[in-house]
Structure 1
Amino acid sequence: MAFNDFINYKCEYRKGLVAFLDILGFKQFISCAHPSDIYSLYMLISTNYEISLNNNINIAVFSDSIIITSEDVNNTNFMSACYLIINQIYWNFGLFVRGGISYGYYYCSNNISFGQAIVDAYLCEEDAKDIKIAIDKKALPFIMKHYSWCLDQEDEKYSINQFIFQNKIFIEMGKEAFKAKNLDIEKTFKLDRENIIYLLRKYSNTSLYSKYLWMLKSFNNFCDYLKQHEIFMEKIKIDEI
C-alpha cells in the first residue's frame, strides 16, 4: 500500500468495551530475562488472537500493554479473555497484571489501537494502583449487568473480584464438589491463600505491601461469598499475617 493510500484511508471509530492491561514488573523482567523468554511471553499472548476474533474480540499488544476490545457489550467472552491472558502471564512468568475497563469510541485493527475509550481505560488502570481490574464509570452499567456478582466496591469505585470471577465454576458446582470431597478445588483455594500470605510477608516493609494487601481483602471477600453460598472450608480466610 502506497503512502498516499494510507493518507486517504478512511477509518471509522467503533463503540464498545475496552480493557487496558498493564504487565507489572515488566522493566525488571526485560532487564533480567533471556530474549527467548521475552519472545515466549508475546507468543503466549498471541495464541489468543484467533480464538478472540472468532468471539468478536480484538487484542493488540505493545511493550507491556495489552488492549482488548469488543463492540458487543453483552459479550461475556470479553471478561474471560482478560482473565485468560492475566492467568497465562502469571502462571507462566510470575508477573502480575493490572487493568482498567472503559466504554466508548475506539479503533482497533491489525495491532493498531487508538481512541478516547482506550485513553479512559488507561487512566482507569493507572488510577487503580492495586493489582486488579478497575471499572470506569462509563463501563459500569454494562459490567454491572453481567458481573454484579463479582464486583468489589470501595469509595464509589468498582473493580472485579478476581477470585470470585475465576472460581465461578467452582461456586456453581460448589456444594456438590465439596460434598464429594473434591480436594483439588480446596487445594486451589489454599494455594491462593498461601501465595498471598507469602507475598505480604515478603514485601511487608516495601511500597508494594499495599498492593498485595488489596489481594488479601479481595480473597477474604471471596471467602465470605463462599460462605453465603453455604460452601465452607476450614482455615481458608486470612485473619492475620
Structure 2
Amino acid sequence: MKKMQYDEKSPKLLNSIVCAIDILGFSQMILDSCQTGLGNKLLSEINYLIEKNKNCIVPDKYSQGKIKIFTDNMVVAYPIDYDGESELNEILGNVAEYQFNLALEGLFVRGGISIGEFYINEDIVFGPALLDAHYQESEIACYPRIVLDDKTVEQLQRHIQNYNKMPEDHIILIDTDGKWFIGYLNTIFKYFKDCSNEYEFEMVKIKLLEKHKEKLEEMLTKHKENIFVWDKYVWTANYHNFFCDLYFPQEKDLKIAKHLLLSWPRQISTGDF
C-alpha cells in the first residue's frame, strides 16, 4: 500500500505530526551583526550550518517528511500512516539530532510539536497543526526545549501502552512544569553506535558533552546581565547537568559549575559611588 504523502499538484490536508522550530535570540544576532558590519559573515555561517544539518531532519529520499525553512524558523512535518508510531519516532529522533547539532555550534532552539491536519509544498505551509505547533513554540516552550502538545503526548502514551516500551533511547523527558519535551542530548548515543571499540565510543560521547558544556558556559557568561535571556541558558545548563548525573556520574568535570547558575545579591560598597 502506498504511503501517505503531500501531493504537490493537488493540495489536501493530511493528518500529520508537525514541529515548528525557532533559533533562540536570532533577531538580536541579526541586529548586532549588521550594526558591526558582520551581517554577511553571520549570513554565511547560518546558511552553512542549516544546510549542513537539515539533512538529519529528512534523511533520505524514502522519507515522506517535508521541511520548510525561513532563516531561523523551520517547519517539519510527516503525514501519518496507520497509528503514527513510525512517524512519531522518526520526527522525534531527527529533530533531536538537529537540535543537538546546532547546540554544539552555539545555536540553541526552542520548538513545539502537534498532531492534526496539515499541508506543505514548495510555496505554502497550512493547517491547524501548524498553528498548534507554533503556539507551543512561541508561548509554551519558553526555554531552549521542544515541547509536545497534549495531543502528541496522548499519542505517545498510547504507543507506550500498546508496545510496552518507552520511546527510542528514552528521548522524551517531563519537565518540572509537567511539559513533555525532547531530551536532545540522548543523540550522543547515536554517534558511532556500532563502534566496536567501547573506549573510543565513550571518549567521543565525553568530547561531545564537553563541547556542549563549553557553548553553554559562553552563553551564560555573555548574557549574565540580561536576566531574561540568562535564565533560558540556566535552564539548559540544568538539563545538561541532569543528563551528566544520569549517564556520566563519575565525570564530574562535565558538569557546569553551580556558581554560573546562581545570582547572588551583594551589599553596597564605596565602589558603587
Q: Does 1:159 align with 2:181?
A: yes
Determine the structure 2 residue equivalent to 1:5: none
Q: Is the 8 A contact 2:115 2:151 kept in 1?
A: yes
Q: Structure 1 residues 185, 49: CA separation in 2 closer, same or farther (over 3 Å shift)?
A: closer
Q: Does 1:68 align with 2:94?
A: no
Q: Structure 1 residues 183, 61: CA separation in 2 closer, same or farther (over 3 Å shift)?
A: closer
Count of aligned pairs between the two proteins: 226
Please list, as runs of the form range in 1=range in 2, the aligned pairs for 1:113-124 lying within 5 A after superposition: 113-124=125-136
Determine the structure 2 residue equivalent to 1:223: 244
Give how far 1:109 is off.
1.8
Determine the structure 2 residue equivalent to 1:236: 254
Structure 2 segments unaligned to the other structure (5+ residues): 1-8, 34-38, 161-166, 260-273
Give how far 1:239 is off.
5.1
Compute the RMSD of aligned alpha carbons: 3.2
- Amino acid aligned to 2:116: G
1:109 to 121, 124, 132: 121
Which structure has the greater CA radius of gyration? 2
Q: Is the 8 A contact 2:58 2:66 kept in 1?
A: no
Determine the structure 2 residue equivalent to 1:3: none
Q: Structure 1 residues 233, 79: CA separation in 2 closer, same or farther (over 3 Å shift)?
A: same
Q: Structure 1 residues 184, 84: CA separation in 2 closer, same or farther (over 3 Å shift)?
A: closer
**Aligned mates of 2:71, 2:191 — CA distance in 1:** 34
**Aligned mates of 2:49, 2:117 — CA distance in 1:** 29
Give how far 1:47 is off.
5.2
Give how far 1:14 is off.
0.6
Determine the structure 2 residue equivalent to 1:58: 66
Give how far 1:156 is off.
1.9
**Aligned mates of 1:158, 1:214 — CA distance in 2:** 15
**Aligned mates of 2:27, 2:238 — CA distance in 1:** 27
**Aligned mates of 1:26, 1:86 — CA distance in 2:** 15
The percent identity for this pair of structures is: 23
Q: Structure 1 residues 101, 62: CA separation in 2 closer, same or farther (over 3 Å shift)?
A: same
**More divergent stretch after superposition (29-38 vs 152-161):** 29-38
Q: Is the 8 A contact 1:19 1:121 kept in 2?
A: yes
Q: Does 1:195 align with 2:208?
A: no
**Aligned mates of 2:57, 2:256 — CA distance in 1:** 37
- TM-score for the superposition, normalised by structure 1: 0.77
**Aligned mates of 1:110, 1:208 — CA distance in 2:** 34
Q: Is the 8 A contact 1:21 1:97 kept in 2?
A: yes
Q: Is the 8 A contact 2:148 2:179 kept in 1?
A: yes
- Amino acid aligned to 2:217: I
Q: Structure 1 residues 200, 26: CA separation in 2 closer, same or farther (over 3 Å shift)?
A: closer
- Amino acid aligned to 2:17: L
**Aligned mates of 2:134, 2:213 — CA distance in 1:** 29
- TM-score for the superposition, normalised by structure 2: 0.69
Runs of 4+ displaced beyond 6 Å: 170-174
**Aligned mates of 2:57, 2:237 — CA distance in 1:** 32
Please list, as runs of the form range in 1=range in 2, the aligned pairs for 1:14-25 lying within 5 A after superposition: 14-25=14-25
Q: Structure 1 residues 214, 118: CA separation in 2 closer, same or farther (over 3 Å shift)?
A: same
Give how far 1:195 is off.
2.9
Q: Structure 1 residues 50, 208: CA separation in 2 closer, same or farther (over 3 Å shift)?
A: closer
Once the two structures are superposed, residues 69-92 of structure 1 have per-residue CA deviations (whole angstroms, 9 ceiling, x without a partner) of 112332332123323433454455
- Amino acid aligned to 1:202: K
Q: Structure 1 residues 61, 156: CA separation in 2 closer, same or farther (over 3 Å shift)?
A: same
**Aligned mates of 1:148, 1:184 — CA distance in 2:** 18
**Aligned mates of 2:169, 2:201 — CA distance in 1:** 29
Q: Structure 1 residues 25, 103: CA separation in 2 closer, same or farther (over 3 Å shift)?
A: same
Q: Structure 1 residues 215, 17: CA separation in 2 closer, same or farther (over 3 Å shift)?
A: same
**Aligned mates of 1:198, 1:63 — CA distance in 2:** 23
